[in-house]
Structure formats: structure tokens, C-alpha cells
Amino acid sequence: MEQTPINEDSPSVSKKAAMKQEKLRRRQEQQALAAASRSLAVDDELDQLAANYGEFPLQSKTVENVSRRTQVAALTNALENCSVRIRGKAHTIRVVGKNMAFVVVRESWFTVQCVATVQPDTVSRQMVKYVAGLSRESVIDVEGLVSIPSVEIKGTTQQVEIQVRKLYCVSRAPVLSFNIEDAARSDAEIEKALQAGEKLVRVNQDTRLNNRDIDLRTQANQGIFSIQSEVGNIFRGFLLSEGFREIHTPKLIEGSSEGGAAVFTLDYKGQPACLAQSPQLHKQMAICGEFRGVFEIGPVFRGEDSNTHRHLCEFTGLDVEMEIDLHYSEVMDIVARLFVTIFGTLNKTCQKELEAVGRQYPFEPLKYLPETLRLTFEEGAQMLKDAGDEVDPMGDLNTEAERKLGQLVLEKYGTEFYILHRYPLAVRPFYTMPCHDNPAYSNSFDVFIRGEEIISGAQREHRPELLEKRAQACGIELKTISTYIDAIRNGVTLHGGFGAGLERVVMLFLGLDNIRKTSLFPRDPRRLAP
Amino acid sequence: MEQTPINEDSPSVSKKAAMKQEKLRRRQEQQALAAASRSLAVDDELDQLAANYGEFPLQSKTVENVSRRTQVAALTNALENCSVRIRGKAHTIRVVGKNMAFVVVRESWFTVQCVATVQPDTVSRQMVKYVAGLSRESVIDVEGLVSIPSVEIKGTTQQVEIQVRKLYCVSRAPVLSFNIEDAARSDAEIEKALQAGEKLVRVNQDTRLNNRDIDLRTQANQGIFSIQSEVGNIFRGFLLSEGFREIHTPKLIEGSSEGGAAVFTLDYKGQPACLAQSPQLHKQMAICGEFRGVFEIGPVFRGEDSNTHRHLCEFTGLDVEMEIDLHYSEVMDIVARLFVTIFGTLNKTCQKELEAVGRQYPFEPLKYLPETLRLTFEEGAQMLKDAGDEVDPMGDLNTEAERKLGQLVLEKYGTEFYILHRYPLAVRPFYTMPCHDNPAYSNSFDVFIRGEEIISGAQREHRPELLEKRAQACGIELKTISTYIDAIRNGVTLHGGFGAGLERVVMLFLGLDNIRKTSLFPRDPRRLAP
């Protein structure tokens, strides 16, 4: 099992130092909050304007005279002098003197500056004090007039201001484990500041993942998960348009689907059960049931103890299975067209998201060809040999060899996306069909992005006797897969398919260094929360 | 726990009798096969035309001179005298005399008759014998000329014939546990035949599910799972167009997501873990992370011992969570528009599939209004009271009361799809927000189709102290949901959402009597296979 260390994105700051730094910052922030509130001490006199601020009614009370809400993104010059209501997080709060408070309100990607100035009939000194006493990341409702400032506003996406009339707190945040700005900083910025003698906070990966609800608020993360959503959407759209149907196969199964690798086991009403390591057997059974082409997007479970940058114990499988007419190249045709469609569509429709990710985690756009390159395993092995590497001609490529081959392919063919097919049979799962001309090879393939494997696929063995023999040779108890073998025995046409991991596709397309960055709530051998 | 018996769709035939009948049929079929082969005994002379039939090369050998494959669906008069190649299941095989065999080839929904007649240069007597020796449901490749018969062909969808030139077997089926025609028969047909003194085979539900790969080949099942695929597609398309993002939350979690109901537990690397009973806590955490609206289609796991027609231990959840501006009615707005879109689109785009299902399982199209009816729980309870039923005003409705209310609503409002909201708080999960004007009620709702509950939804409590108090009152150990409570504490806007079960939506839209009919490979307390 591969055991390269988990890539931590804070190599230059130790965990302990980071925690100390964080504690210090939290204390400072709490003190600043208290001081701001004290300095604005006002008489306890009755505030005639008290209705203009305070706690927001939470419980779906129909609120009289509440205006329609405007999205922060929609706040443009065209709304000058209009009264608007917005809602968002208090991104920053700054008090100037005793009569004025600035609040930058953030709603998803967008930010706008709101100014509360003491004025008769609208804003009281008590209200400014109330604003000053709010904590960052609290959710607030702001009503006010849109104005256009004479100078550019730095640090907000919207170039209008809101002159606050009313302000209500929907949800009060405590001082958080880290600030969004700190979490949103690129390594380059931190290094640059360090060279200029300034020490910026770096939020390390475990802190981020322990507080994923905060971490997700950065623009890079908003971008990553919009792209993840879009990959699923393009994947399905393409396959539906090709006549495939979406299926949902059970995750609770009798036996392990792949054999070998560790599985999670549990008790199912007194019967031993496993969590499916892939929808392999059931998607094939759907083909036995005359579903001519099927796909599934769903969780797959791997009990392996792999603490690497690219393994998870639970990830989102992108699975496809289809009838083959004559040759397994038909499956590779689908793979090639599908992924070229995914890459092309993302580059076209996710510009904003790609830029947001790139600002924090710079990457080069993926190089790929309109016609996907296909090499045989033998050709790939030869390329490595020619470059002076030792390769077992009947073994698998290890991670290092895969990366090296990716480099050689890029140099020779100018692509970071290619298919390697006709793998040695010995290194493939039991349900793989051997080649017609040499049973030591198989009708199988892997697909690579930036030198890392993202897809495995093959034509399936559907001669029941051979299937049983191969399963046994792989150490699989036949009785745990008897319903699968029976389905194959009941008559099935030539078929094949492939599986990919959604998180890995997104990670490699974006050139990210760790799969935990593309899993919403990652699960690895050490992490079961949040 | 509800314990109405599993609805068996073979009430008039006992299990034992059915098995006996099946055994008899299998033996008869095997004998017939052998007899057909014997009667066609031909000399062992060398067949000059042997290349025109036999076993198909399976292993992705590039086959020389293989023509492009035509889909059975595409076989029309326009192709008269054209040479075509088709592939499909041998739906029926019939031998006439010694020189002729008829094979009906089925490809998914479509069937065509192929005729092999002894002819010099193409079809030998040995070839007819070979065809006669094939078993039903074997996969075959047929090449031949398209001809137009002078009389209508009964029992096939295509009204052309194929004059066979070549025929190869891709996969040989044994005599199966049941025939597709038997599995495809409606109860009405069986009853009608019985009244005419003819006893037709009825395939009971367990036999079907034990051999799901065969059962799935019926037109009704092809229709059901095409509709299921389409429901997912419409669900996602609608939500994406409303700005929602698709997420994938972990199924392996620390604590139970709902409390109360039984969960599946397992060992996760030495740590106790559960299978998520819903993505509830994590979809809310995504909202905490400023995903403004999210949805998920994924498996949910229920360890309950419910052996009913509408419970499964694993089903496909359709989950939504979203920001609320002012009122939980915003969530009901989405539910109403989403489901009206689903129903309308299905009725428009799935005509063929709906008809196929209706032929075997007759049903009335769902009655629903363009503007979905909303009643409060109190109004619903009053309707039941007015009709003479006893209702606990602060309890939940039981299945019987729900069905009765559905009937009353249909009579009064003419709809089988409606929303019941403002449920008593006591019968809702801990994360439900109480009503602003009466804490005994809650900002929650259920949605019904044909008198059965399919959706539960609500605004969520996001005041951390109250949330903790309610969780404890529901018997949930706080430490198992601490990361969830922390996320809520970190500041979140008003939000709410809902969850439905895909299998139940399809079942109730189609008026089916058992949820096992709409689950590809169902899991219930007694079934973990296939």
C-alpha cells in the first residue's frame, strides 16, 4: 500500500506554532470587540430609533413592511438612491469616531461596504454602538440607500455603498477559529510578506478541515465546489444525450465487490454485509437486465489504510457500464469524448470559478488534445525503458512510473490527458476480459491526468466458468458473488465500462495537491468528522 | 413501528405451488430443446457454409467484414432489401419442418422476426439445426436481408422480417427461472385466462427479485427505470436552473443524523461509526459554509425493521437545503414548483414508458393542481374530525389517517398532491424551528401523493442553545453531533429544506403497490441480495 505522507499545506509553520498564533489572534479580537463597545458608551436613555436595529425575527413571522431582498451581486450604479435590503455575513466591521461604523457585507462571492452614520430620524448613537458590538461573520440584514462614492472602494467587489437606515442581526457569530482572509491567502502572498518582514497567518489543513463550515466560505472553495457540481452535471448531460440511463445500485452488499482491498463490514440484520467498494457488480447486472448503457454517481467506500494526498475512505464514484458491439475501443471512445466535453465545458462556463481557485492555488490550464491519445501498455513501458527506467513488463506501473510516463507523454505528444490500454491481465480485477491474441494481456485501460491515474476501465469477462475461475484465483469466495455470476450466466452481451472518482477529477483538472481540497467533508483513515 | 404485511403480487398462487409450476416448466422447456435438436439430426458431413454460424468472437478481436450494426428499433420498411446486422436476445425460437427456423430477436423495447430458411450458398441444414439448438434469452448476432411480409406479424414491434444469412451466438443462456412473457403479464390477463379455464404462469415477487437481472427485461421495468432516471434528471435540472449546487455528503458519520430510528453501525478504523440516515446535518453545514442552496441525490440508510410495502433499508434520497429570507413558505414554494415540473415533464416526455408500465400495472394519471394546495395541520385534522375520525391534535397522523385525509382532499379540492404544514413540534426532529406564535407547532411540512407521505421539510432551528436542548430531549448524545452544533454556532442565516425518496416518488406517481418495484436492487430487512 502506498504510504507517501499527507501533503500539509503549511510546511513552513509547525502545527503547534499555528495553534498558538490562532489563540493569540482570537484573544486580541475579543479584546478589540470589548474595547470598541466600551469606547462608544452612550447614555442608557430611551432610543427613539430603537426599532431600526436589533435582533431579527427568526421564526418565519411574516414581517410587515419588509422590502424585497436584493442580492449583493446585483448592487450596481443603476440602483443609485434606491432603497435596498441585503443580507450577508459581516465580513469586516470598523468604527470611526463615535458616530460612524463601516460594515463590509459579504454574500457568497460578493462584498459591499455599508456605512452607518448617526443621523436624526434614522441612525442613533446607540445603533452605531450596536453595530460596533457585532462580531465578524455574524449574519446581518441591512436596509439603506445606494450611493456612489467618489473614490474607488478597495477590498469590495461592488463599487457602490449603502447608507444604512436599518440593521438587524440574524445570527451572531463567536470569534471564529480563523478569519476568512487568512484562509483565502495564497502561499505566494505569505512568502512575499515574510520576505518583507511581515508574518501573516497561515491556516493549516487540519484546522481548515476541523472547521470546514468556515473554510468553505473562501472564494477558492466556493469555486472548487461549483466546479465539482458542474463536472457532475456535464457527466450526466453527456451520457443522457448518448442514451445512457442513470441508476442507483445498493451500497450494502453481501460480498466485497472487488476482492483484495480492505472493505468496511457491518452487521445487516444478523447477516454479514459490506459497503460496496464500487458499483461494479450491480452496474453489470443492470446490463444483464438489458439496460443498454448506464451510469451512476454515488459514494464508494474503501477501507484501505492509505494516508496519501490522493486517497479517501469514501469518495464519489463516476461509473459507466455499456454494451459493446465488437471491441473495447468503443468504451474508450466514450471516455475520450466525455472527458474532452467536461474539460471544454468547464473552461468555457466556469471562468470565474477557475480564476478564484487559481488566485489561491495557482495552476496551469490542463493540456489536452481534441482526439485523445491512446497508447498500449507495451508502448508506455517502452517509452519508460527508452528513458532509462526499469519496468516490469507484466506488472503494474507504480505512482512514480505513472508520473514519469506522464512527463514523457507531455514532452512527446503535448498532452496531459491520455489513455493507456492493453494492461497485463495479472494486475487487473477478476472480471476483466483477456485479449484474444494473448491471454497475458487484457482488454483494459487506465486514463491519466497530469501523470496521475483517474479512470480504470475494461471489457468484462462474461463466460461464467472463466469468471468463476478468475474470482477464485483472486481469493473471492464464490458464494458472496453468486447472484452476480448467475446474472452473467443468464445471458449477457459483450459489455464494458469504467469508473472514475469525482474528487480526483476535480483535483487533477485544477492541479491541486491534495484530494481533501475537493471533498466537501473528507473521510480518510484518521478523519470521520465533521 | 408500522408492520403491515409486504404486499405480494401473487395473492392467488401460493409460493410453493408457484415453485412447483416453475420447475415443471423448466423441465418441459429443456425436453423441448433436446427434442428439437434430435429431430433435426443431419449427417455429420462437412458443412461448406459453416462460417455463416457458430460462436461469436467475444474478446474484442477486430472482426473483418463485419457490417455496421443496426438497432432493432430502426428496422422499418425503408430498409427493404438492405443487408443489416442486428444483435439482441433470442426472445422466441420456433422450428418449422426441417428447413426453417423463426427467431424473434428482442433488443430492449423492440422485437423483430428473423427467418432462417435452407438455401444454397447461405443457410445449410446444419445451420437451421444450430439455430434450433439455441436457448431462449441467448444473445445472438443476425445478419440478413430486410423483407416486408405480406401479412401483419403478430407479437413483434417491427413489421419487417429479416431473411437470415448469418447467425452467431454471443452468449448462451440456460433455461431461465421464468420467461419474460410470464413476468410481463398483468394480473388482469391472468384472471381473464383463469375464467376462460386457462392457467397462466404468475411470477411472484420473491422469484422476480431473486432473479432481478431477468425481471428487469420486461417492458414495465424498462419503463419504470427510465422514468426513475428521468425524475433525477428533472430534479437536478430544475434546481441547477434555480442556482442550487449539487453536493456529495459523507455517508460514514460519527453519530446518527436523526436520532431515534435504528441505524446501521460499523467500525471505522477503531472508531464507532454510523451510516447516515439522511444528509441532514451535512447539507445544513454546507449552508453554514455559504452554499446558498444545495441538493443531493444519494443513498440513505435506515436500519428499521419495517416490513411494509413502502419501506426500504437503503433508498435514494432527494435532498434539498436552502437559505430562507423570511418565511418557511419559501421552501414550500420550491417543493411545489419542483414537483409540478417533475409531473408535467414526465407526462410529456415519458409517454411510451408510462404506457408500458400501465399495460402491466394499470393506473390513473396523478391528479394535481398547477398551484399546489397547502393546508395547515390543524385544517387537515379538522377535515378528519368533520368526517368522524378521531385525531390527536398534537400527535402525528398515522398511515391510515394520511390515506383518509388524502381521500377527503381529493374529494374537496380535486388533487392527489398537496402540502400539509405547521405540524405539532413534538412529532418533528430536533432541528425543527418552532412557530413564532405558538411553540407547540413548528415551521414544518409534509407532502403527500395519493394519500402517502413522500416529503418532509422544515425551517431549521439555528439558535445553538435551543438546538442542543432539543437534541438532548430527543435522546441524542451531544458529542456525536458537536461538529454540527459548532457549525451552526459559527453563524448561519435562516434556512430550511426537505427530503424525499426517489423510489417512493416513482412508486406513487405510477400508482404502484410496492416500493420494491421501483428499486433496482431493493434492500429490506430480509433482503441483501442480489
Mapping DSSP onto H, E and C, the string for A365-382 reads CCCCCCCCEEEEHHHHHH
A63–B326 C-beta distance less than 8 A: yes
Within the 197-216 window of chain B, which residues sit less than 8 Å (CB to CB) from chain A?
A: 210-216
Whether B453 is catalytic: yes
B292 contacts in chain A (CB < 8 Å): 108
Q: Tell if the CB–CB gap between A171 and B299 is shorter than 8 Å.
A: no
Q: Which of residues 151-170 of B touch A (CB under 8 A)?
A: 170
Residue A173 has its nearest CB partner, among B273, B301, B490, at B490
Angle A280-288/A482-489 helices, nearest 10 degrees? 30
**What is the dihedral sign for C-alpha B186, B192, B195, B198?**
negative
pLDDT computed for residue B14 by the predictor = 59
pLDDT at position B480 is 86
- What's the confidence (pLDDT) of residue A4? 40
Nearest-Cα distance to chain B for A168, in Å, is: 12
Helix, coil or strand: residue B527: strand
Indicate the residue of B60, B251, B443 with minimum beta-carbon distance to A314: B251
**Structural contact between residues A420 and A396, judged by C-beta atoms closer than 8 angstroms:** no
Upper half-sphere CA count for residue B88 (Cβ side, 13 Å): 24
State the best of A221, A521, A524 to mutate against chain B, taking most chain B CBs within 10 Å: A521
Instruction: Tell me how far CA of residue B415 lies from CA of A488, B365, B507, in angstroms.
Output: 45, 11, 17
CB A230 within 8 A of CB A349: yes
Q: How far apart are CA B424 and CA B419, in angstroms?
A: 15
Whether A62 sits inside 8 A of B288 (CB atoms) is: no
Q: What is the pLDDT along chain B (530 residues), one digit of tens a residue?
A: 334 444 444 444 456 666 677 777 777 777 776 776 666 656 556 788 999 999 988 788 876 667 789 999 999 999 999 999 999 999 999 999 889 999 999 998 899 999 999 999 999 999 999 999 999 999 999 999 999 999 999 889 999 999 999 999 999 999 999 999 999 999 999 999 999 999 999 999 999 999 999 999 999 999 999 999 999 999 999 999 999 999 999 999 987 656 556 899 999 999 999 999 999 999 999 999 999 999 999 999 999 888 999 999 999 999 999 999 999 999 999 999 999 999 999 999 999 999 999 999 999 999 999 999 999 999 999 999 999 999 999 999 999 999 999 999 999 999 999 999 999 999 999 999 999 999 999 999 999 999 999 999 999 999 999 999 999 988 888 988 999 999 999 999 999 999 999 999 999 999 999 999 999 999 999 999 99
Name the stretches of chain A with pLDDT < 70.
1-19, 33, 36-45, 63-65, 256-261
Query: What is the four-CA torsion angle of B408, B412, B416, B419, rounded to 10 degrees?
Result: -90
A69 touches chain B (CB under 8 A): yes
The yes-or-no answer on residue B310 being catalytic is yes
pTM of the model: 0.93
Cα gap A449→A472, rounded to integer Å: 33
Q: Which residues contact B209 (CB under 8 A, 6 or more apart)?
A: B215, B516, B522, B527
How far is Cα B374 from Cα B413, in angstroms, rounded to an integer? 11
Query: CB-based contact (8 Å) between A63 and chain B?
Result: yes
SS3 of residue A486 by DSSP = helix
- pLDDT reported for residue A36: 66
CB-nearest to A89 from B236, B305, B491 is B491
Choose from B304, B520, B523, B524 for mutation: most chain A CBs within 10 A. B520
Check CB contact of A64 with chain B, cutoff 8 Å: no
In this prediction, residue A15 carries a pLDDT of 62
* Alpha-carbon distance values, B334 to B218, B256, B338, B406 (Å): 35, 28, 6, 22
* Residue in B392, B464, B341, B268 with CA at minimum distance from that of residue A263: B268
Buried b (16+ CB within 10 A) or exposed e, A43-63: eeeebebeebbeebebbbeee
- pLDDT tens for A197-218 read 999 999 999 999 999 999 999 9
Interchain contact, A297 vs B301, CB within 8 Å: no
ipTM for this model: 0.93
Fold of B40-53+68-171: OB fold (Dihydrolipoamide Acetyltransferase, E2P) (2.40.50)
Positive or negative CA dihedral for A46, A52, A54, A60? Answer: positive
Who among A211, A463, A489 is closest to B174 (CB)?
A489
Res B474: pLDDT: 85
Cell numbers at A179, concatenated: 478569519
Q: Is A349 in CB contact (< 8 Å) with chain B?
A: no
Whether the CB-CB separation of A10 and A204 falls below 8 Å is answered with yes
Find the residue in A nearest to B293 (Cα): A108
pLDDT given for residue A259 in this prediction: 59
Residues of chain B in contact with residue A437, where contact means CB-CB under 8 angstroms, are 61
Q: Does A346 touch chain B (CB under 8 A)?
A: no
Question: Strands B495-501 and B314-323, how do they pair?
Answer: antiparallel
Q: Does A298 touch chain B (CB under 8 A)?
A: yes
Give the CATH architecture of domain A219-518. Answer: 2-Layer Sandwich (3.30)
Q: In B, which residues are within 8 Å of A520 by CB distance?
A: 247-250, 282, 286
What is the residue whose three cell numbers read 399546489? B372
Across the interface, of A221, A236, A491, the residue whose CB is closest to B138 is: A491
Counting beta carbons within 10 angstroms of the beta carbon of residue B482, is it exposed (0 to 12), middle (13 to 18) or buried (19 or more)? middle
Q: Identify which of A246, A251, A436 has the shortest CB distance to residue B299.
A: A251
Inter-chain residue contact A212 with B289, CB threshold 8 Å: yes
Place of cell 422485437: B111
**Chain B: closest CA distance from residue A429 (Å):** 16
Determine, for residues B314 and A250 on separate chains, whether the beta-carbon distance falls below 8 Å: yes
Torsion sign over Cα A180, A181, A186, A191: negative
Give the per-residue pLDDT at B28.
Answer: 78
Q: Could you tell me which of B361, B360, B312 has the C-alpha nearest to residue B6?
A: B312
- Residues with Cβ within 8 Å of residue B28, at least 6 apart in sequence: none
Distance in angstroms (rounded) separating the CA atoms of residues A178 and A357: 19
pLDDT of residue B41: 57
Cα of B158 vs its chain's centroid, Å: 27
Could you tell me how many CB contacts below 8 A there are between chain A and chain B? 303
- Edge-to-edge strand ranges of the sheet holding B417-421: B245-246, B293-301, B314-323, B495-501, B452-459, B444-449, B417-421, B373-376
Q: Position of cell 427467431?
A: B103
What is the pLDDT, as a whole number, of residue A258? 63
> Considering only residues 39 to 58 of chain A, which have any Cβ-Cβ distance to chain B shorter than 8 Å?
57-58
As annotated, the active-site residues of A are 302, 304, 310-311, 453, 456, 504
Which B residues 91-150 touch A at CB under 8 Å? 108, 137-139
Q: Which of residues 404-463 of A touch B (CB under 8 A)?
A: 433-437, 443, 459, 462-463
SS3 state of residue A102: strand
Distance, in Å, from the CA atom of A408 to the CA atom of B439, rounded to the nearest integer, reads 68
Ordered by start, the domain boundaries in chain A are 40-53+68-171, 181-210, 219-518
Nearest to A314 among B246, B250, B493 (CB): B250
